[in-house]
């Protein structure tokens, strides 16, 4: 597959969304928790508590919706400041109870609208980046579709970041990049190559730790092995002291790209 074909696959309306993953992995143990306690409940972000075997988790997902009606309700998975603040509220709650956090990311980006700007989209994302870096409980992020820029990163300052084999993660959409740089959005396929946004590219750059084979809805065994992998990773990080954990997270981001620094 070319990079742009992967972009298309990541955007495919038929692929599994965050609520599908939650249903397949946690079935009926999931209890959804709503709202940022400040302004509203952003339905682009679905969050709550679930049991991973016998360990309670905080699960936070960006949800695009599975049909037109849902997609409208979920704002096509473009979160507003309230969504990021809801996520942070629940991460802080997880920290209090030393409960690991699992984030499932699938978004074309944070919502670029008037209301979102008025209510501090930039500030909301910035606060998540800061607070997640020192959150004293394990955080694992899995990119299950699109990872669109700051809107994805706001749930991905984690101990490890994994990607589905056909997920993408980028600072800008290939269409946006092509239209800004080359004044021609039809050059998106070239931009997709240049941006190095596929799971394999990002693994090579040290931005993600693991590439996961895309599970299919009917494939219970694959979800089971994904659950075991998540469990093992969170368990390993739970065994670290809070200081060791946050130091490891800081160093993870500290070293990305530094091999190329000159002088």
Partner 1 sequence: MDFFAFVKPKNELESAPDAKQNVPFIPEEMWVKCPKCNTLLLTTDMEENLNVCTHCGHHFRMNTKQRIALFADADTFVERDGEMTSTNILDFPGYDQKLEKARQSGNESVICGVCRIGGVRTVLCVMDAGFMMGSMGTVTGEKITRAFEFATEERLPVVVCSVSGGARMQEGILSLMQMAKTSGAVKRHSDAGLLYITVLTDPTTGGVTASFAMEGDIILAEPNTLVAFAGPRVIEQTMRQKLPRDFQTSEFVMQKGFIDAVVSRDKLKETVARLLKMHGYKEAAQ
Which residue has tokens 């970041």?
161
Distant-in-sequence, close-in-space partners of 158: CB < 8 Å, separation ≥ 6: 101, 103, 132, 139, 140, 141, 249
Nearest to 34 by CA among 24, 17, 48, 20: 48
Q: Quick check: 25 and 227 in contact, CB under 8 A? A: yes
Minimum Å gap between C-beta 54 and partner 1 is: 32
Query: With binding defined as CB under 8 A, does residue 202 bind partner 1?
Result: yes
Nearer to partner 1, 6 or 24 (CB): 6
Q: Exactly one of 120, 189, 209, 225 binds partner 1 (CB under 8 A); which one?
A: 120
**With CB under 8 A as the contact rule, which of the stretches 31-39, 48-56, 59-67, 163-171 interacts with partner 1?**
163-171
What dihedral do alpha carbons 190, 195, 196, 199 form, nearest 10°? -100
Query: With binding defined as CB under 8 A, does residue 169 bind partner 1?
Result: yes
176: which 2 tokens?
């946006």
Per DSSP, 41 falls in state -
Query: With binding defined as CB under 8 A, does residue 211 bind partner 1?
Result: no
9: which 2 tokens?
């696959």
Q: Exactly one of 58, 107, 137, 149 binds partner 1 (CB under 8 A); which one?
A: 149
Nearer to partner 1, 13 or 205 (CB): 205
Query: With binding defined as CB under 8 A, does residue 130 bind partner 1?
Result: yes
Minimum Å gap between C-beta 153 and partner 1 is: 6
Query: With binding defined as CB under 8 A, does residue 40 bind partner 1?
Result: no
155: which 2 tokens?
């749930």
Minimum Å gap between C-beta 148 and partner 1 is: 10
Burial of 138 (0-12, 13-18, 19+ CB in 10 A): buried
Query: With binding defined as CB under 8 A, does residue 199 bind partner 1?
Result: no
DSSP states of 137-163 as a string?
S-EEEEEEEEEEHHHHHTT--SSEEEE
Q: Exactly one of 3, 45, 52, 125 binds partner 1 (CB under 8 A); which one?
A: 125
Nearer to partner 1, 143 or 230 (CB): 143
Q: Exactly one of 7, 207, 234, 245 binds partner 1 (CB under 8 A); which one?
A: 207
Query: With binding defined as CB under 8 A, does residue 262 bind partner 1?
Result: yes
Query: With binding defined as CB under 8 A, does residue 221 bind partner 1?
Result: no
């Amino acid at each position: 597959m070319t990079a742009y074909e992967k972009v298309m696959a990541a955007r495919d309306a038929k692929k599994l969304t965050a609520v599908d993953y939650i249903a397949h992995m946690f079935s009926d143990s999931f209890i959804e928790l709503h709202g940022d306690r400040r302004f509203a409940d952003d339905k682009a972000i679905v969050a709550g508590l679930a049991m991973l075997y016998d360990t309670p988790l905080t699960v936070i997902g960006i949800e695009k919706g599975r049909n037109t009606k849902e997609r409208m309700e979920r704002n096509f998975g473009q979160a507003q400041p309230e969504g990021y603040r809801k996520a942070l509220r629940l991460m802080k709650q997880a920290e209090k109870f030393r409960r690991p956090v699992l984030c499932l990311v699938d978004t074309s980006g944070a919502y670029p609208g008037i209301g979102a700007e008025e209510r501090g989209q930039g500030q909301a994302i910035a606060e998540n980046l800061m607070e997640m870096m020192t959150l004293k409980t394990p955080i694992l992020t899995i990119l299950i579709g699109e990872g669109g820029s700051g809107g994805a990163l706001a749930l991905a300052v984690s101990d490890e970041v994994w990607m589905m084999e056909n997920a993408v993660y980028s600072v800008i959409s290939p269409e946006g990049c092509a239209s800004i740089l080359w004044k021609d959005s039809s050059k998106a396929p070239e931009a997709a190559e240049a941006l190095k946004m596929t799971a394999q590219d990002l693994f090579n750059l040290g931005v993600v730790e693991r590439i996961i084979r895309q599970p299919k809805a009917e494939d219970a065994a694959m979800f089971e092995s994904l659950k075991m992998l998540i469990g093992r990773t969170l368990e390993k990080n739970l065994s670290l002291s809070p200081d060791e954990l946050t130091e490891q997270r800081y160093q993870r981001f500290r070293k990305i790209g530094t091999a190329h620094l000159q002088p």
